[in-house]
């Protein structure tokens, strides 16, 4: 069960109610806010403009009890210290780029090396540590950011909007839009860690991914450019399977990643919005379905998770405490000619969305 912190004048109307309160100050003194979007049923989500971060999702279980199903922190201080991207918007480029460089229009761009010789989640200038502007529109919160040319090594002055909405059928929609004054690479995702039981680990959750192919990666988690069929392997979730069933098998990919940290090629590549995953927790009967316009889903069983600050539970988060469902373009796409193109051309609009639909499945 959860209690509701003090927000000004929360009223449960027959429409979505959005409230705002102060969440704290950054180390440089910038004020940060927390937003709550409340459904008439009492379910709600919380967001902050620090990192355009998804802070909480308080959702009913089979008995109607409300619990928070996203890992996070009770105060801004936790997010300031966080190194695991909990709930944040990741950009300019989600996941890894090999050798921290790419070539675009015959020019080579050098990026931050924050993961050995590679860049991960855009290095030291990632959007997860930025304070976004914001605007409230009906049942939406729109977070806006300007990323200058050269930030993190990426070309182009980039203007970005990340829009969150919460509908009465308990669907959270994240809509991304951006424009650049130069050709650039852009690959945005949300890095929420889900735990539909609200405590413990996610090993007894069931997972379904409508995909039979995934990317092969090396020991540094960089794609080799090859694809592999997952049929009859520990990576096969084409039928619902408990996450913990095969996770500790003697498989080099699982050992290197301390579990799952793999990118799946979604079926129906020509579909505008693809079914990406179903996560289910049998004790509470909570279910999460994911739909996206992106071509891939990267799953992460949080084998490397080790938070430096105590989370909402009062304890530091440890491996397998949550599960990430990151919709995105393929990792290292700028260096892999066979991968789907994710260049944002000057004058064009980057526009994608991902939907997270919560429900109870009895």
Tell me whether residue 1 is in a domain. no
Q: Is residue 9 part of a domain?
A: no
Residue 6 counted as domain residue = no
Task: Return the structure tokens found at 198.
Answer: 């609200």
CATH number at residue 28: 2.70.98.10
Reported as a single tens digit per residue, the pLDDT across 260-301 is 999 999 988 778 899 999 999 999 999 999 999 999 999 999
pLDDT at 1 over 80: no
pLDDT confidence bin for 23, thresholds 50/70/90:
very high
Residue 306, pLDDT above cutoff 60: yes
Q: How many domains does the chain have?
A: 1
Which positions are catalytic?
191, 326
Within a domain: 12: no
Whether 210 contacts 275, CB under 8 Å: yes
Supply the range of the domain harboring residue 126.
Answer: 17-360
* Across 244-273, average pLDDT: 93
Considering the domain boundaries, does residue 36 fall inside one? yes
Task: Produce one character per residue of 76-104: b if its CB has 16 or more CB atoms within 10 Å, e if not.
Answer: bebbbebebbbbbbbbbbbbbbbbbbbeb
Dump pLDDT digits (tens) for 81-104.
999 999 999 999 999 999 999 999
Q: Say if residue 184's pLDDT is above 60.
A: yes
Residue 7 falls inside a structural domain: no
pTM score: 0.94
Query: Residue 222: inside a domain, yes or no?
Result: yes
105 burial type by CB count under 10 A (0-12 exposed, 13-18 middle, 19+ buried)? exposed
Q: Is the pLDDT of residue 48 over 70?
A: yes
State which H helix or E strand residue 80 sits in.
helix 76-81
pLDDT computed for residue 243 by the predictor: 98
């Amino acid at each position: 069960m959860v209690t509701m912190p003090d927000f000004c004048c929360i009223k449960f109307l027959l429409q979505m109610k959005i409230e705002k309160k102060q969440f704290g100050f950054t180390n440089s003194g910038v004020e940060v806010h927390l937003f709550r979007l409340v459904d008439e049923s009492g379910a709600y989500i919380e967001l902050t403009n620090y990192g355009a971060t998804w802070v909480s999702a308080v959702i009913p279980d089979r008995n109607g009890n409300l619990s928070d199903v996203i890992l996070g922190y009770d105060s801004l201080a936790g997010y300031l210290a966080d190194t695991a991207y909990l709930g944040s918007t990741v950009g300019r480029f989600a996941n890894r780029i090999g050798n921290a460089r790419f070539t675009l229009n015959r020019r080579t761009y050098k990026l931050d090396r924050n993961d050995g010789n590679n860049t991960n989640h855009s290095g030291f200038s990632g959007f997860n540590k930025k304070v976004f502007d914001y605007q409230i529109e009906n049942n939406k919160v729109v977070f806006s950011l300007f990323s200058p040319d050269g930030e993190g090594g990426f070309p182009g002055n980039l203007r970005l909007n990340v829009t969150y909405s919460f509908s009465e059928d308990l669907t959270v929609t994240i809509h991304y839009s951006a424009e650049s004054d130069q050709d650039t690479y852009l690959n945005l995702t949300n890095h929420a860690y889900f735990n539909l039981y609200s405590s413990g680990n996610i090993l007894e959750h069931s997972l379904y991914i409508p995909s039979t192919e995934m990317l092969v990666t090396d020991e540094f988690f960089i794609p080799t450019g090859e694809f592999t069929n997952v049929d009859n392997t520990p990576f096969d979730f084409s039928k619902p399977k408990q996450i913990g069933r095969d996770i500790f098998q003697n498989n080099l990919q699982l050992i290197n990643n301390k579990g799952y940290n793999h990118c799946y090629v979604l079926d129906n590549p020509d579909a505008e919005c693809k079914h990406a995953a179903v996560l289910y927790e049998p004790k509470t009967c909570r279910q999460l379905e994911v739909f996206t316009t992106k071509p891939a889903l990267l799953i992460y069983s949080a084998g490397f998770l080790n938070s430096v600050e105590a989370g909402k539970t009062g304890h530091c988060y440890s491996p397998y405490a949550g599960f990430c469902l990151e919709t995105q373009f393929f990792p290292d796409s700028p260096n892999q000619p066979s991968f789907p193109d994710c260049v944002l051309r000057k004058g064009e609009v980057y526009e994608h969305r991902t939907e997270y639909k919560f429900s109870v499945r009895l």
